[in-house]
Amino acid sequence: MDVNFPWDFTWAWIALALATFPATMGVINLCLVRPPAGKPAEGTMVSILIPARNEEANIAACLEAVLASQGVAIEVVVMDDGSTDRTPEIVRALAARDARVRLESAPLLPAGWTGKVHACARLADAANGTHFLYVDADVRLAPNAAADMAGH
């Protein structure tokens, strides 16, 4: 019995092999990944950088999680990128309670730049830390996340 395939059967095997390659690499990486072994070096400070535009629903919970960081000194810089909601007021209120929080306002967008990329570049300019950790306002960091990143 002769079966006619619409494509060469060899190509199907090649396609299958190529499709399984990323999954195989993922499994290998999961087997090799180890938790960070070291603690951050003396004098390490992580700048947690948050670009924010109209994030009033998320920013307070994000900042509360970030401020619960343990094991490393942190500073938190929030770049307000032209919010029209209460985002800046919420950040100012938290900054009044905790000196590690600072609110910056994004300057006007130069030609050829996009909003978030520009805000992230300005955040890097404003940061004082030895390590930078960028997070979005809808992220909730685990208390050891900044220290683990700096110790890795």
For the chain, the farthest-separated pair of C-alpha atoms sits apart, in whole angstroms, at 81
Report how far apart, in Å, the C-alpha atoms of 84 and of each of 1, 54, 56, 88, 108 are. 70, 6, 10, 9, 15
pLDDT per residue as tens digits for the range 112-132: 888 889 999 999 999 999 999
> Which position has the higher pLDDT, 66 or 34?
66
Q: The whole model's pTM is what?
A: 0.77
The confidence score (pLDDT) of residue 1 equals 52
Cross-strand partners of 125 = none
Q: Over pLDDT 70: what percentage of the chain?
A: 92
